[in-house]
Amino acid sequence: MDVRFGSLAIRIRDFNASDFRLDGGGMFGVVPRTMWQGKSPPDANNRIRMATRCLLIDIGGRRVLVETGCGDKLGAKDREIYAIENAGGILAALRGADIDPATIDAVIMTHLHFDHAGGATTLDASGTPVPSFPNATYYVQRREFADASANASHMKTTYRPENFQPLADAGRLTLLEGDAEICEGVRVRATPGHTPGHQSVIVGDPAGPAVCFIGDLVPTAHHLRPFWTMAYDIEPATVNQSRQKLVGDAAAAGWTLVFPHDPDTPAVRVSLDARGRWQGDPVDLDA
Cα-based angle 247, 200, 156 (whole degrees, multiple of 5): 115
Whether residue 150 lies inside any domain: the answer is: yes
Q: Report the number of distinct structural domains present in the chain.
A: 1
pLDDT in tens, 212-240: 999 999 999 999 988 899 999 999 999 99
Domain of residue 34 covers 2-282
Whether residue 287 lies inside any domain: the answer is: no
DSSP string, 27-91: HHTTS-HHHHTTTS---TTSEEEE--EEEEEEETTEEEEE---S-S---HHHHHHTT---TTHHH
In three-state secondary structure terms, 279 is strand
Report the CATH number that the domain containing residue 167 is assigned in CATH: 3.60.15.10
Whether residue 222 lies inside any domain: the answer is: yes
Mean pLDDT confidence for 183-205: 96
pTM exceeds 0.85, yes or no = yes
- Residue 170 pLDDT grade (very low, low, confident, very high; cuts 50, 70, 90): very high
Whether residue 30 lies inside any domain: the answer is: yes
User: Do residues 230 and 22 touch, judged by C-beta distance below 8 A?
Assistant: no
What pLDDT shows up at residue 275?
Answer: 75
Mean pLDDT confidence for 166-178: 98
| 227 vs 159 pLDDT, higher one | 159
Mean pLDDT confidence for 14-40: 96
Whether the per-residue pLDDT at 211 is higher than 80: the answer is yes
